[in-house]
């Protein structure tokens, strides 16, 4: 029976190989399948080239930026190719993680004693980083967490820095201790304190700023983490906070760096990065086993970083601004419509455009937003959120999409003009 099965299986594989060879040519079985080599196009679930449409999920034009909910960012073609190469071999994942960390530290010229870990995202980096601080290399602690018996159990955070991603801190079993003033930090510090957490995007809202937070951490001898997930550009943020002395820093790979959506970086002190890896996939019976990062993502993250660092960032900013101005040029032809430009200081630090209109266009921004969402192609653009009109950025637009946005938005505003 076993023999029969084997024979059948071999027979089947033999047939499949023959068919594939006739399509891709001999010796090109797997390499050919990953390439589109002119003779046979790789297909998704049909022939359109848009696998999402073929599955019945319409794709959208993204005017909102690097939103996880919309798919993060779009891979550069050379990154796609490198990730496909990564998928063709088996390799020791822990050894790959160590090598990736070394390469990343060199590329970023991190301070002595710093390294990096590729995680499945910034959220995973937050959780694994804190888990590592709590457990060190103690195997029973690693298995025991989130039961923190015998470990430290508190993380200090400014009240205005609380955000949905502190769930990843709470996952480890710690309790968040909220503070607002320097005096409250002093009172909050105890032998239960494992870490002081900083949310980079909230720098302006908290009383204690990013540089002072780390000074307090050093003064009280408590490791500090800075969640800077969405805070490139500027590129220098990739090393600024390590140079400032932060023990751990987290970044998303699938945002402005345009790495794999399921990748991120934990940058930090070598010992702590090592402990984070012990608490992370592929290691089993760990809190981070569910945050698997694949060989393709690890290679993809390293390559994405390399490509990102090589880019002409000033030229990119000019291109993003030019796209907005082209859209503005069309929109401001409509009586009552005006635009203005701004760049947020932190988080999505890229050119943005505010689109406003007066009573000559009797529409709420939410209505315009909804009409564009329902248009074909569907356009995602934010309305409301405290500001009048619509706000958009252009850094996730694909070639030619600025023209479509200008046309669709003009049409909607004109059709409803008084």
Question: Is residue 68 near ligand PLP by the rule CB under 6 A?
Answer: yes
Residue 402 binds ligand PLP (CB under 6 A): no
- Using CB under 6 A as the binding rule, whether residue 122 contacts ligand PLP is answered as yes
Question: Given the rule CB under 6 A, which of 208-216, 222-230, 301-309, 366-374 is the region that contacts ligand PLP?
Answer: 222-230
Which residues in the 165-204 window bind ligand PLP by CB under 6 A?
165, 201
- Tell me the three state secondary structure of residue 157: strand
> What string marks each residue from 239 to 278 as x (binds ligand PLP by CB under 6 A) or -?
-------------x-x---------x--------------
Minimum CB separation of residue 349 from ligand PLP in Å reads 12
Q: Which is nearer to ligand PLP, 257 or 272 (CB)?
A: 257
- How near is the Cβ of 66 to ligand PLP at its closest, in Å? 8
Rule CB under 6 A: is residue 230 a binding residue for ligand PLP?
A: yes
375 vs 368: CA distance, rounded Å: 10
Helix axes 313-331, 401-415, angle to 10 degrees: 30
Binding of ligand PLP at residue 121 (CB under 6 A)? yes
Q: Binding of ligand PLP at residue 229 (CB under 6 A)?
A: yes
The pair of three-digit structure tokens given for residue 251, joined into one six-digit string: 């970044």
Q: How far is the CB of 244 from ligand PLP (least distance, A)?
A: 18
Cis peptide before 345 (omega within 30 of 0): no
Q: What is the rounded (10 degree) CA torsion for 216, 219, 222, 225?
A: 40
Closer Cβ to ligand PLP, 86 or 124, answer by number: 124
What is the closest distance, in whole angstroms, from the C-beta atom of residue 166 to ligand PLP in the complex?
Answer: 9
The residue at minimum Cβ distance from ligand PLP is 121
Which pair of structure tokens corresponds to residue 255? Answer: 């945002």
Query: Going by C-beta distance under 8 Å and a sequence separation of 6 or more, which residues neighbour residue 279?
Result: 128, 131, 132, 135, 142, 145, 286, 287, 288
Is 227 among the residues that bind ligand PLP (CB under 6 A)? yes
Residue with smaller CB distance to ligand PLP, 117 or 412: 117
Name the DSSP letter for residue 175: E
Cis bond upstream, residue 234 (ω within 30): yes
Residue 157 within binding range of ligand PLP, rule CB under 6 A: no
Determine the interface stretch with ligand PLP among 5-13, 227-235, 290-298, 299-307 (rule: CB under 6 A): 227-235
The order of strands in the sheet holding 390-393 is 337-342, 352-357, 390-393, 382-383
Task: Calculate the CA 159 to chain-centre distance.
Answer: 24
Q: Which stretch binds ligand PLP (CB under 6 A): 24-32, 55-63, 116-124, 291-299?
A: 116-124
Task: Calculate the alpha carbon distances from 119 to 139, 160, 238, 260 in Å.
Answer: 20, 26, 15, 11
Angle between helix axes 93-108 and 237-244 (nearest 10 degrees) is 90
Of the two residues 108 and 413, which places its CB atom closer to ligand PLP in the complex?
A: 108
Site residues (vs ligand PLP, CB under 6 A): 68, 121-123, 165, 201, 227, 229-230, 252, 254, 264
């Amino acid at each position: 029976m076993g023999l029969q099965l084997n024979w059948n299986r071999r027979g089947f594989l033999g047939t499949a190989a023959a068919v594939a060879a006739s399509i891709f040519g001999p010796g090109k079985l797997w390499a050919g399948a990953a390439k589109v080599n002119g003779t046979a196009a790789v297909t998704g679930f049909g022939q359109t080239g848009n696998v999402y449409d073929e599955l019945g999920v319409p794709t959208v034009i993204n005017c909102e930026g690097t939103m996880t909910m919309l798919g993060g960012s779009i891979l550069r073609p050379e990154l796609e190719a490198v990730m496909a190469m990564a998928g063709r071999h088996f390799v020791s994942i822990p050894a790959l993680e160590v090598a990736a960390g070394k390469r990343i530290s060199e590329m970023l010229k991190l301070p002595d004693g710093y390294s990096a870990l590729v995680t499945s995202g910034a959220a995973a980096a937050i959780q694994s980083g804190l888990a590592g601080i709590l457990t060190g290399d103690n195997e029973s602690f690693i298995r025991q967490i989130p039961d923190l018996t015998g470990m430290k159990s508190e993380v200090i955070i400014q009240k205005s820095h609380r955000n949905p991603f502190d769930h990843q801190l709470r996952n480890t079993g710690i309790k968040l201790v909220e503070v607002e003033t320097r005096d409250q930090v002093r009172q909050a510090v105890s032998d239960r304190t494992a870490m002081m957490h900083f949310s980079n995007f909230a720098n302006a809202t908290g009383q204690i700023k990013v540089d002072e937070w780390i000074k307090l951490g050093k003064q009280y001898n408590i490791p500090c983490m800075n969640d800077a997930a969405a805070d490139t550009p500027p590129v220098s943020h990739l090393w600024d906070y390590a140079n400032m002395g932060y023990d751990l820093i987290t970044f998303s790979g699938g945002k402005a760096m345009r790495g794999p959506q399921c990748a991120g970086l934990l940058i930090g002190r070598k010992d702590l990065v090592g402990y984070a890896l012990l608490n992370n996939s592929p290691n089993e019976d760990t809190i981070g086993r569910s945050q698997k990062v694949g060989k393709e993502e690890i290679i993809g993250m390293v390559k994405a970083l390399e490509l990102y660092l090589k880019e002409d960032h000033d030229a990119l900013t000019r291109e993003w601004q030019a796209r907005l101005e082209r859209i503005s040029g069309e929109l401001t032809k409509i009586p009552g419509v005006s635009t203005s430009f701004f760049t947020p200081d932190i988080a999505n630090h890229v050119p943005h455009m505010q689109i406003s209109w007066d009573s000559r266009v009797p529409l709420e921004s939410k209505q315009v937003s909804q009409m564009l969402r329902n248009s074909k192609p569907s356009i995602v653009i934010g309305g409301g959120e405290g500001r009048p009109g619509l706000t958009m950025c252009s850094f996730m637009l694909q070639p030619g999409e600025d023209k479509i946005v200008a046309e669709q938005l003009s049409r909607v505003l004109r059709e409803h003009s008084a």
